[in-house]
Amino acid sequence: MMNSAVTEQNIIQLFSRMNETIDSAQTILVASHIDPDGDALGTQLAFAAYLKSIDKQVILVRDGNIPDKYLFLPGVNEIPYTSEEFLDALEFDTAIILECPDPKRIGRTNELLDSSVRILNIDHHLDNANFGAVNWINSSASSVGEMVYEYFAWLGYKINPDVATSLFTAIMTDTGRFRFDSTSARTLQISGELVASGARPQMITDQIYFSMQPQAMKLVGKILNNIEYYFDGKLCVLMMTDDMLKETGASRHDSEGIVDFTLFTKGVDAGLFIKEDSENSVKASLRSRDGVNVASIAGTFGGGGHFNAAGCTIELPIETAKSRLLELFGEVFNGA
Ligand SMILES: [Mn+2]
């Protein structure tokens, strides 16, 4: 973590080691987590552009669909899906793994990370397992996008408008549009530099937040219609059932971002969005304001994330999962 414990000297040493590792590499895999988000895709694309600019062979991979709202990102259509045939033909000596607390998070490509592969691990998650040959973990960074910018700045790499667009997207989405507590003066300085380098905030914001399909809007309506409050209005709960998807014709990834609604109410300190995955499995997204550590609640179920934003999978029917989560929030709000 690049806090006060990590001196300027340390970070320069770290950047030098990253640079040496990249310099000596032939073919570099650039991977991020399954079901990629803005920070994952943005930093993958930015890193790939940089590596190509220094004549490295680059392999991008993704495990999971790219949400439609990110299809405007320059080059995003060239990130291949990790099909079996694709993986069979894959060879690389170095892997840059972005935004993954654990290498398993990259999905199936993880199977190819044997001991011959040098791993550069770049992440801002608190619970990163330091699995790389070089580990750069900065849990006070707003996003991996911000970290990648710092590295590029140290290198003196001149950022073009495409790379600026990718990194701005990474930072903006991971800060909830510059709203989360992780948004520092440096976050905004960097974002300003990216605008100066050609990122267009209005275009990017419109593409990501104001391009919803009608069925997705109808899904939002159904979910909000069943909004619930607990613990004197301190916890807001939203649920998405399979029936809601069927009734609206929306798909699972249309639910991305709906968790944000859980913190829109005055007096709410924590939010919970529970999505039914199957009869006996749900995904829960947890959000909070300052004082509530939702990472620890998610951790109870084997999940994780950040203090104010976390997630987990619970192998229980949706109503049972909700009760279990409410018990844990009860310990927070009613005092354990
Ligand atoms: Mn991130």
Tell me, yes or no, whether 250 and 275 share the same domain.
Answer: yes
Q: How far is the CA of 206 from the centre of ligand 1 (A)?
A: 20
For residue 1, being part of any structural domain is answered with no
- Answer for the pair 99, 30: CB distance below 8 angstroms, yes or no: no
For residue 3, being part of any structural domain is answered with no
Q: How would you write the pLDDT of the chain (336 residues) with one tens digit per residue? A: 444 445 777 999 999 999 999 999 999 999 999 989 999 999 999 999 999 999 999 999 999 889 889 999 999 998 988 878 888 888 999 999 999 999 999 999 999 999 999 999 999 998 899 999 999 999 999 999 999 999 999 999 999 999 999 999 999 999 999 988 899 999 999 999 999 999 999 999 999 999 988 999 999 999 999 999 999 999 999 999 999 999 999 998 889 889 999 999 999 999 999 999 999 999 999 999 888 999 999 999 999 988 999 999 999 999 999 999 999 999 999 875
pLDDT in the model for residue 6? 59
Q: How far is the CA of 219 from the centre of ligand 1 (A)?
A: 26
Tell me, yes or no, whether 90 and 199 share the same domain.
Answer: yes
Q: How far is the CA of 243 from the centre of ligand 1 (A)?
A: 31
Tell me, yes or no, whether 14 and 141 share the same domain.
Answer: yes
* Gap between the Cα atoms of 147 and 174, Å rounded: 12
* Gap between the Cα atoms of 245 and 255, Å rounded: 9
Tell me, yes or no, whether 302 and 171 share the same domain.
Answer: no
Q: How far is the CA of 124 from the centre of ligand 1 (A)?
A: 7
Tell me, yes or no, whether 132 and 13 share the same domain.
Answer: yes
Q: Which residues of 77-94 are buried (b: 16+ CB within 10 A; e: fewer)?
A: eebeebeeeeeeeeebeb
Q: Which among 174, 208, 242 is the end of a domain?
A: 208
For residue 282, being part of any structural domain is answered with yes
pLDDT in the model for residue 187? 98
The pTM score is: 0.81
Q: Which among 162, 187, 208 is the end of a domain?
A: 208
Residue range 193-203, pLDDT digits in tens: 999 999 999 99
Q: How far is the CA of 99 from the centre of ligand 1 (A)?
A: 6
Q: How far is the CA of 138 from the centre of ligand 1 (A)?
A: 11
pLDDT in the model for residue 126? 84
Tell me, yes or no, whether 176 and 263 share the same domain.
Answer: no
For residue 2, being part of any structural domain is answered with no
For residue 285, being part of any structural domain is answered with yes
pLDDT in the model for residue 89? 85
Number of structural domains (the chain) is: 2
- Answer for the pair 31, 44: CB distance below 8 angstroms, yes or no: yes
Tell me, yes or no, whether 36 and 167 share the same domain.
Answer: yes
The 3-state secondary structure of the chain reads CCCCCCCHHHHHHHHHHHHHHHHCCCEEEEECCCCCCHHHHHHHHHHHHHHHHCCCEEEECECCCCCHHHCCCCCHHHCCECCHHHHHCCCCCEEEEECCCCHHHHCHHHHHCCCCCEEEEEECCCCCCCCCCEEEECCCCCCHHHHHHHHHHHHCCCCCHHHHHHHHHHHHHHCCCCCCCCCCHHHHHHHHHHHHCCCCHHHHHHHHHCCCCHHHHHHHHHHHHCCEEECCCCEEEEEECHHHHHHHCCCHHHHCCHHHHHHCCCCCCEEEEEEEEECCEEEEEEEECCCCCHHHHHHHCCCEECCCEEEEEECCCHHHHHHHHHHHHHHHHCCC
Q: How far is the CA of 167 from the centre of ligand 1 (A)?
A: 11
Residue 313 burial by CB count (10 A; 0-12/13-18/19+): exposed, middle or buried?
A: middle
Q: How far is the CA of 173 from the centre of ligand 1 (A)?
A: 8
In this structure, the strands spanning 57-60 and 27-31 are: parallel
Q: What is the CATH number of the domain that holds 245?
A: 3.10.310.30
What range defines the domain where residue 290 resides?
Answer: 214-333
- Answer for the pair 126, 182: CB distance below 8 angstroms, yes or no: no
For residue 137, being part of any structural domain is answered with yes
Q: How far is the CA of 181 from the centre of ligand 1 (A)?
A: 14
Nearest to 304 by CA among 102, 147, 159, 106: 102
Q: What is the CATH number of the domain that holds 158?
A: 3.90.1640.10
Q: Which among 165, 191, 208 is the end of a domain?
A: 208
pLDDT in the model for residue 81? 86
Tell me, yes or no, whether 131 and 273 share the same domain.
Answer: no
- Answer for the pair 95, 118: CB distance below 8 angstroms, yes or no: yes
User: Residues lining ligand 1 (ion), CB within 5 A?
Assistant: 39, 99, 143, 174
What share of the chain in percent tops pLDDT 70?
Answer: 98
